[in-house]
Structure 1
Amino acid sequence: MKKILLIFVLILSTTIQAQSYKFKISGTIKSDKEKTPIEAATIHLEKEKDSTVLSYTISDDKGFFSLEGKVYSKKVKLFISFIGMDEYSKPIILTKDANIDLGTIALKEESNLLNEVVIKSRAPITIKKDTLEFNVKSFKTKKDANVEDLLKKLPGVEVDEQGQITVNGKAVNKILVNGKPFFGNDPTIATKNLTKEIIEKVQITDTKSKSEAFSGEKGDANNKTINLTIKEENNKGWFGRVAAGGGTDERYEAATIVNRFDNNTRFSVLAGTNNINSPGFSFGEITKMFGNSNNVSFFGNGQFSVGGRNFGGGQGIITSRTGGATYADEYGNGVDLNANYFYSGSNSENLNRSNREYTVQVQDQNNPGQTRELRYFTNSNSNSTTENDNHSFDTDLDIEIDSTFLINVTPRFTFNDRSSSFTQSDESLDENRVLTNRFTSSAVSNAEAKNFQNTIDITKRFGSKGGFIKASITNQIDQTEGEDFNNSTIETFGTNANTEIRDQKTDITSDLNGFRTRLSYRQPIIAKKLFVNLNYRYRIDERTRVESTFDFDNTTQDFTNFNTDLSTNFTFNDITKTPLVGITYDTKSFNLDFDIGQTMRTLENQDILRPNLSLNKDFNNVTIDANMRYRFPSKARVYIGYNLDNNAPGITQLQPFTDVSNPSNIVSGNPNLKPSQDHRIFANFNKYNWQKRTGFFFWGGANFINNQIVNKTTIGDDLVRTTTYVNADGIYSYYGGGSYNRGIKLDSASTFNIRTGLRFNGSKSINILNEIENVTKTNSITPRIGFEFNWKKKIVITPNYEVAFTNTRFNVNNIADQNFTRHSLRIRTRTNVPKKLEWRNDIRYTFNPNVIGFNRSAWFWNSTLAYSILKDKGTITLKAYDVLNQNTNAQRSVVGNYIEDSESTVLQQYFMLGFSWKFNSLGKKGEVRNYDFD
């Protein structure tokens, strides 16, 4: 029997091998008219039978291309395309180990340029000046794929576990749909809720503001924008999804999104609620089955924000509620409107405990001029609940007066209602672990905040050489009202034992009136290449803050005794004027921007309660902003920048007011502080080799700060701290890293990807304790490696491993250096056997050998089964969260002069059964379209 089985396996493997064709097709592409090499032409190979894309690449700067791989189709067809040229095609019959050299291929100028007939490109990738365009139909995904699934298939594009997108290592900070925002500038709503089936093209460019795009300026080289173009036939109709689920431990989730597209008119609404730490509007019920992954990681804290919107505002387990609507339309010629409303509400509960070990140097009272080591310990336990409701409304209105004149108006309004309760117990122990002092507190707070901000951008181009004049005006109004109730007890033990009880109410009002403007003028010296820039920036922020604290009066049984020491009443003005002059040199491959100016800043503070503490300070400093970008002929890009900023001290750091609200740490300002000087340098380099499917990305930067404002603290024998602020030199931080990605095509349907990388960072910080300068230097390096094996979309296995090494050194000799190691392993799997059943697993293991007092290691396993029904319009899911019931977020950190071990509440094990249904009437027949290229 074993022999028969062995013979059968050998015959089967021989048959499979006989059906595969290994090939290498190469050639050089030139223009027929000018005989010059054509760079970035797209070359792709299709099955002759059903036009399935088998492989693709682009030509290099010499016009050369090489297409390699293995397919199971003998008859194939080669296509070559380039903007402005006629498409070239050639049928090819493959043989085993085919090595085909096509020699020189001449492309002719497009014959349809003067005709009305538009021929749509079939190429998987097209490069148009500064835009990289992908043809969606060329990239295989599962049938139920959303945009995020699609982006993961595009070369050079990566989507991490939080949904953050990078293109060749550069972050994507904006996603547009047909050139317009979708629910504001929140990328995740578009990527997780729009399905691949309605998208025709994915276009990637450097991020630009409306004004920059209109004036023809270069965009942000460090950030990317993705524009999703809807198929013309799919741009009218309704589509959306509804999903709900319930599980053990009273866990639940529900969400819906409904979209109406009608050419230029677009309207969408969404709503959701859950108690599993999820934003609530994600429909990736398999890939995003557990909400924001920060909240399930070993170091998460249950707090998250999406697209700049804050969810929870607390830690631990969060119950969230979301709702919103977006509307976009065009009115006549040149008027474009986009409006968004969004509501986010949440309740959170969290228990936190932490242990700290302090080591400081103090003056030895028995030996003048000598120091001694002081070690003490603190233990802290807290319990908090928070309720937060946030409403935001924003509008983006473009008015194009003519082809040279644009006005952009963006008003935004936000209303926030927040309430919280908090209990805390802290205790300090001396080096013999004898209790020295104890602080217990319970607090309740309520606050309402309103914010209005409006920006008007005016851009006017003149001439044909690239000149323009721009003006930007922004006004901002913030209003906050609230009240805090605090009941606390402070106990000091030892020879001077003392107990202080506080029972207080504080009424708080805070207002901000801000105005800022920027004027820009660009004069061309060499048409569209060399420019002189003149800029002027002005900003004024006027803040008023009143905190009126009242002690409880036992006689009146009310909070009627005004406490001057714990109250404030002041008006603070921050005025900044910055004239700048600079140059810009811009060509296809090289860009240089250099600006230098003078920042003149005035800080004015009028203290109503303490007139003697009012102050007026002027600061004048040079500011520099320089950036250089270069694009090599090999398509590699390098970006280098330098900035010099001067940061004035804050009002609380300058004003010599003594803050005694925390009796264990009394803080006062220093009116003699100088502004800090921050020198920032940064650089990155990236290259993607289309021929070999490899990508490189390196980045690095450093900050060097003089006159950094640091804490100066005195600690007494009772462990009570008195803190002020001073300037210090020599503080720095640095960061950097690199990544290498390699895609290996095993055959036309199977791939193996390798991802390796390394991050490093370090810093030097200073604080002064009992007149002794404490210097802490921290260095960290984190190598990582990951793989992805994809077998015909039926089995996908993705393991990733990283280890972080951290070293912290102190200048005080008797404080031992600290070394920490953290190991992280993550394995994700997906199987689609049978076709309608999808099984996903997410397994993570973390080991913290240096943590004391908490779990050092834990396995974290999530699993989901999803079965498609109703012709793939419906999906039944069974989720298992934290299968092994080991989720934890214990961690150790080194901050300044202490080591801390901490952990807080995390979401525990649950199982959930869910159902989702999608509908789609886009297109002529209204059916759901599924593109499957298996």
Structure 2
Amino acid sequence: MKKLLFIFTLLLTSSIFAQSYPFKITGTINSEKDKTAIEAATVHVEKARDSSIVTYTISNDKGKFSLEGKSFSKDVKLFISYVGMDSYSKSIQLDKTSSLDLGTIFLKEESNILSEVVIQSRAPITIKKDTLEFNVKSFKTKKDANVEDLLKKLPGVEVDEDGKITVNGKEVNKILVNGKPFFGNDPSITTKNLTKDIIEKVQITDTKSKSEAFTGEKGDANNKTINLTIKKENNKGWFGRVSGGAGTDKRFEGAAMINRFDNNQRFSVLASTNNINSPGFSFGEIQKMFGGGGNIWLGGNGGFSINGRRFGGGSGIIKSKTAGATYADEFSKGLDVNANYFYSGSTSNNESKSNREYTLPDRKYFSNSTTISDDENHNHSFDTDFDIEIDSTFLINIKPTFVFNKREGSSRRQEESLDKDNTLTNSYVSSAYSKSEANNFQNRLDITKKLGAKGSFIKASISNRIDKADTEEINKSTIETFGSNPSTENRDQKSTIENNLMGLTTRLTYRFPLIAKKFFLDTKYRYQRDERENKENTFDFNSTTQQYSDFNTGLSSDFIYNDITKIPSVELVYRTKKWRLNFGTGFVNRTLENNDKLRPELSLKKEYNNLDLDASFRYRFDSKASIYFDYRLNNSAPSINQIQPFTDVTNPSNIIKGNPNLKPTQNHRAYINFNKFNWQARTGFWFYLSGTLYENQVITNTSIDDDLVRNTTYENTDGGYDFWGGGSYSKKIKLDSIVSLQLRAGTNIRASKNFNIINDIKEGAKTTSISPVFRATLDWDKVASIEGNYDISFSNTKYDVNTDQNQNFTRHSVNIRTKTTVPKKLEWRNDIRYTYNPNVIGFNKSAWFWNATLAYSILKDQGTISLKAYDLLNQNTNAQRRATSNYIEDSESTVLQQYFMLGFSWKFNSLGKKGKIKNYDFRF
């Protein structure tokens, strides 16, 4: 039977390929009016039978195009389109060796007269100056695809396993819906919860502030913004999803999101709760069952964030609750309002362990530590955004933000130090409890006025910030020192801490055109003042009164710290269709002033003067390739704890004292990016390289006595650097009409050198690493897909003094994802990962991690029943090794263990119910 099936499949495949018609169509596209070449016109071929797209390309800077492909339909239609021009179409009948030169094709300026024949198709890609626009109908996805699934299909766009989106190597840091933020620009909420079927176009451009977009200035060349435009017929109605699940080991999750769109008015609410370390925005969808969405950072202080937004929690096991609402409306022409509210609450439990091997100039020693923590966090944030466009030349933007946070936590830590013979030299045991409340208010006012028609403008910006935090802590600790002079020190203390910040920043820019719309002189001035007030009262426990009543001066503080910066600067800006150059310089005057009320003799005032430089250029070779370079010289002042000559004895095993003679660190930073995408061949290539050289870098200077007690201060040094880069090559191969293969090979590189001083000997550590990655995705439309990638990381650390301690690390990672949708209503997904860390000592070197999900659609595909298995092999681990200039550390912490969960989700959608419009299914 298997042989017969194989023969039948072989014959069927041969029959399909026998009916294909390869073709090559060339030509040149010019403007009929001025007879000049048209660059970036879109040329595509459709099947005449069903208007599905066969292939497409873009004309080059000379207007020439070459379109090659293979069609399984003999009758096709060629379309040429360009913004501002009437489209061109031509019916073509293919034969076995079709090669057609269309010569020069002249496009007319767009006509206002309605044609008798309305062309229903749309070009798959349109290039509008700096904006790349994709027609969603042209890209095939599964039936219930969300925006993230759609983005994975777009050429040049990559979405990694954490949900991070890049376009030709540049990260997407903002996603808009109809040009407006959606839940505060959080990309993960948008991409994972809006469905593809309501989207009409995807527009990609450099990230810009609203003022930059209004004046036509350059944006952030290192980041991209995606704007999703909703279909007009789908921009009114309700849609959303609710889900829930319960599993073994008392695991649970529940989430809901409801959206109401009414043209310019938009309202959405969401809520979720779970104890599976998820922020709650996956809503039970299969591909997002494990860890939620976006770039997730887990910290040990009871907090985690998604794409920069704080949601509370921490490493370990997290139980979280979230709720939020967003509202956007255009009350009248020129007045746009956007408002967002978020609540996040969490409790977390974590146990972390670390083993360190320290290398001193004359000896080694070891440190082992274990920390157990429990935290509870509640966070409320509210932000609004008002755009007031007085007229076409005058824009006002107001953006206030409020954040309220309440946190309570406890921790227990055990640490021991051993000499080179593994003899115990000292031990440190502590327990701590703290609770805090913090309030934050920020507001930014931007005023932009365009002057005349030559590109001149004036901008003013005022930002203020008010932070107020109150904390109460109880710390109990015991440090024991062994050896020839044994000692024991016990501490039992209570502290009340007040931290307040008042910040003000003003910016003023005036642009003067030297050559209208091409060459400009910008004059700028920035003033910034941050005033920090710190008051910490620490009391020792009095055994007689049984109260915390003995004031501890050494652990208390009362100071006001001012950081004042003034920067007048000038900048030259030159831009053409292909070039964009700028050069700017500024004089930085910075004053650091500390008024210590508790220790007046430690008050200080420092003034620093430096130059800032900024130079960049961008060149666009054609519609397929561009290069960008940027160089910056700036300086960063020492922090208050580094410069304040106060001895911090909070940790008696590591006493820290600031150095008031520190100088600001100067940073020389350079960045280069090149990207090229061949629309015809479906190949993409990009690379970037960035690096920073440091002058007067602040490093630690530590002396360690025979009992391994550390005394640390800070020094300046030269010679430090940090370089990083990467590149990628991808190619999509269409094997037949329903099977495609996507290949990608890339790498990330990093090289850095850091210094420290230990017992008067300066040690430098140079670390280099390279991480190649290979990925392949085989997609069989509506049936199955398999994606595999292999990552290997090589890391080498070399020391200037202790060369015998040089280290080499290697880490392997293999990831395989599979999806099958046979039978039609059943979906089966697997996510299998294998990691191998051969250099880790004391923890597991290797682990398999396997997640699996079965989902069955019911209720006319509106409902889904799912069964998921997390960590089927029960081997989940996060053991890792890292090296610094004076120690090597192996560590691991609590991770979520194996569980099984049964879930149900239901979705609803009333968008576009009235007056449905025929959906032309243009697919690859």
TM-score under structure 1 normalisation?
0.95
Aligned to 1:447: 436
Structure 1 residues 304 and 931, CA, compared in 2 at 3 Å: closer, same or farther?
A: farther
Segment drifting more, 406-415 vs 291-300: 291-300
How far off its partner does 1:263 sit?
Answer: 1.1
How far off its partner does 1:19 sit?
Answer: 3.6
Q: C-alpha distance in 1, partners of 2:74/2:659?
A: 80
**Matches of residues 317-396 of structure 1 in structure 2 within 5 Å?**
317-361=317-361, 373-396=362-385
Percent of aligned pairs with the same amino acid? 66
Question: What is the total number of aligned residue pairs between the two structures?
Answer: 923
How far off its partner does 1:127 sit?
Answer: 1.1
Structure 1 residues 931 and 769, CA, compared in 2 at 3 Å: closer, same or farther?
A: farther
Q: Tell me, yes or no, if the aligned pair for 2:294 and 2:307 is still in contact at 8 Å.
A: no
Q: Tell me, yes or no, if the aligned pair for 1:70 and 1:747 is still in contact at 8 Å.
A: no
Q: C-alpha distance in 1, partners of 2:328/2:173?
A: 20
Deviation track 1:403-436 (CA, whole Å, cap 9, x = no partner) reads 1111110000000111111000000011111111
Q: C-alpha distance in 2, partners of 1:289/1:927?
A: 33
| Residue 259 (structure 2) pairs with residue 259 (structure 1) | yes
SS across alignment from 1:477: strand
How far off its partner does 1:93 sit?
Answer: 3.0
Structure 1 counterpart of 2:603, one-letter code: S
Q: C-alpha distance in 2, partners of 1:596/1:775?
A: 33
| Residue 285 (structure 2) pairs with residue 285 (structure 1) | yes
Structure 1 residues 541 and 780, CA, compared in 2 at 3 Å: closer, same or farther?
A: same
Structure 1 runs (4+) deviating above 6 angstroms are 1-6, 113-121, 293-303, 926-934
Structure 2 counterpart of 1:341, one-letter code: Y
Segment drifting more, 51-60 vs 531-540: 51-60
Q: Tell me, yes or no, if the aligned pair for 1:70 and 1:746 is still in contact at 8 Å.
A: no
Segment drifting more, 417-426 vs 301-310: 301-310
Aligned to 2:563: 574
Deviation track 1:290-318 (CA, whole Å, cap 9, x = no partner) reads 12479999999996411422233421111
Aligned to 1:81: 81
**Matches of residues 516-915 of structure 1 in structure 2 within 5 Å?**
516-633=505-622, 635-813=624-802, 815-915=804-904
Structure 1 residues 266 and 159, CA, compared in 2 at 3 Å: closer, same or farther?
A: same
Q: Tell me, yes or no, if the aligned pair for 2:613 and 2:633 is still in contact at 8 Å.
A: yes
Q: Tell me, yes or no, if the aligned pair for 1:314 and 1:385 is still in contact at 8 Å.
A: no
Query: 1:503 is matched with which residue: 473, 492, 501?
Result: 492
Q: Tell me, yes or no, if the aligned pair for 1:642 and 1:682 is still in contact at 8 Å.
A: yes
Structure 2 counterpart of 1:586, one-letter code: R
Aligned to 1:63: 63
Structure 1 residues 5 and 497, CA, compared in 2 at 3 Å: closer, same or farther?
A: closer
How far off its partner does 1:6 sit?
Answer: 7.0
**Matches of residues 280-319 of structure 1 in structure 2 within 5 Å?**
280-283=280-283, 285-292=285-292, 304-319=304-319
Segment drifting more, 757-766 vs 304-313: 304-313
SS across alignment from 2:149: helix
Deviation track 1:366-396 (CA, whole Å, cap 9, x = no partner) reads xxxxxxx211111101101111111000010
Q: C-alpha distance in 2, partners of 1:764/1:635?
A: 37
Structure 1 residues 838 and 608, CA, compared in 2 at 3 Å: closer, same or farther?
A: same
Aligned to 1:409: 398
Structure 2 counterpart of 1:878, one-letter code: L
Structure 1 residues 113 and 488, CA, compared in 2 at 3 Å: closer, same or farther?
A: farther
| Residue 503 (structure 2) pairs with residue 514 (structure 1) | yes
Structure 1 counterpart of 2:72, one-letter code: Y
How far off its partner does 1:2 sit?
Answer: 8.8
Structure 2 counterpart of 1:876, one-letter code: I
Segment drifting more, 482-491 vs 104-113: 104-113
**Matches of residues 101-500 of structure 1 in structure 2 within 5 Å?**
101-112=101-112, 122-283=122-283, 285-292=285-292, 304-361=304-361, 373-500=362-489
How far off its partner does 1:25 sit?
Answer: 3.1
Structure 1 counterpart of 2:233, one-letter code: E
Q: Tell me, yes or no, if the aligned pair for 1:398 and 1:406 is still in contact at 8 Å.
A: yes
Deviation track 1:17-68 (CA, whole Å, cap 9, x = no partner) reads 3343333333332333433332211122222222222322222222232333
How far off its partner does 1:216 sit?
Answer: 1.6
How far off its partner does 1:626 sit?
Answer: 1.4
How far off its partner does 1:90 sit?
Answer: 2.3
Q: C-alpha distance in 2, partners of 1:296/1:683?
A: 27
Q: C-alpha distance in 1, partners of 2:780/2:2?
A: 27
How far off its partner does 1:162 sit?
Answer: 1.4
Q: C-alpha distance in 2, partners of 1:520/1:339?
A: 28
How far off its partner does 1:932 sit?
Answer: 6.3
Q: Tell me, yes or no, if the aligned pair for 1:626 and 1:641 is still in contact at 8 Å.
A: yes
How far off its partner does 1:352 sit?
Answer: 0.6
Q: C-alpha distance in 1, partners of 2:574/2:363?
A: 58
Structure 1 residues 12 and 281, CA, compared in 2 at 3 Å: closer, same or farther?
A: closer
Q: Tell me, yes or no, if the aligned pair for 1:484 and 1:505 is still in contact at 8 Å.
A: yes
Structure 1 counterpart of 2:131, one-letter code: T
How far off its partner does 1:583 sit?
Answer: 0.7
Structure 2 counterpart of 1:42, one-letter code: T
Q: C-alpha distance in 2, partners of 1:295/1:735?
A: 20
Structure 1 residues 127 and 13, CA, compared in 2 at 3 Å: closer, same or farther?
A: closer
How far off its partner does 1:276 sit?
Answer: 1.1
Q: C-alpha distance in 1, partners of 2:805/2:158?
A: 41
How far off its partner does 1:443 sit?
Answer: 0.5
How far off its partner does 1:465 sit?
Answer: 0.2
Q: Tell me, yes or no, if the aligned pair for 1:20 and 1:71 is still in contact at 8 Å.
A: yes
Q: Tell me, yes or no, if the aligned pair for 1:258 and 1:269 is still in contact at 8 Å.
A: yes
Segment drifting more, 141-150 vs 29-38: 29-38
Q: C-alpha distance in 1, partners of 2:562/2:414?
A: 38
Q: Tell me, yes or no, if the aligned pair for 1:301 and 1:906 is still in contact at 8 Å.
A: no
SS across alignment from 1:152: helix
Q: C-alpha distance in 2, partners of 1:464/1:10?
A: 67
Q: C-alpha distance in 2, partners of 1:174/1:142?
A: 25
SS across alignment from 2:189: helix
Structure 1 counterpart of 2:609, one-letter code: N
Structure 1 counterpart of 2:141, one-letter code: T
Q: C-alpha distance in 2, partners of 1:866/1:96?
A: 45
Q: Tell me, yes or no, if the aligned pair for 2:695 and 2:719 is still in contact at 8 Å.
A: yes
Q: Tell me, yes or no, if the aligned pair for 2:799 and 2:885 is still in contact at 8 Å.
A: no
Deviation track 1:442-469 (CA, whole Å, cap 9, x = no partner) reads 1011010000001100001111000001
TM-score under structure 2 normalisation?
0.96
Gaps of 5+ in 1: 362-372
Q: C-alpha distance in 1, partners of 2:915/2:253?
A: 29
Aligned CA-pair RMSD: 2.3
Q: Tell me, yes or no, if the aligned pair for 1:318 and 1:349 is still in contact at 8 Å.
A: yes
Structure 1 residues 531 and 677, CA, compared in 2 at 3 Å: closer, same or farther?
A: same
Structure 1 residues 6 and 730, CA, compared in 2 at 3 Å: closer, same or farther?
A: closer
Q: C-alpha distance in 2, partners of 1:407/1:172?
A: 26
Gaps of 5+ in 2: none
SS across alignment from 2:15: helix
Q: C-alpha distance in 1, partners of 2:207/2:527?
A: 25
Structure 1 counterpart of 2:91, one-letter code: P
Structure 2 counterpart of 1:623, one-letter code: D
Q: Tell me, yes or no, if the aligned pair for 1:477 and 1:514 is still in contact at 8 Å.
A: yes
Deviation track 1:724-775 (CA, whole Å, cap 9, x = no partner) reads 1111111111111211111112233321111111111111111000000111
Q: Tell me, yes or no, if the aligned pair for 2:164 and 2:294 is still in contact at 8 Å.
A: no
Deviation track 1:831-850 (CA, whole Å, cap 9, x = no partner) reads 22222222111111111111
Q: Tell me, yes or no, if the aligned pair for 1:299 and 1:891 is still in contact at 8 Å.
A: no
Q: Tell me, yes or no, if the aligned pair for 1:317 and 1:907 is still in contact at 8 Å.
A: yes
Structure 1 counterpart of 2:805, one-letter code: A
SS across alignment from 1:49: coil
How far off its partner does 1:923 sit?
Answer: 1.6
Q: C-alpha distance in 2, partners of 1:546/1:380?
A: 31
Structure 1 counterpart of 2:654, one-letter code: N
How far off its partner does 1:918 sit?
Answer: 0.9
Q: C-alpha distance in 1, partners of 2:95/2:827?
A: 36
How far off its partner does 1:811 sit?
Answer: 1.2
Structure 1 counterpart of 2:256, one-letter code: T
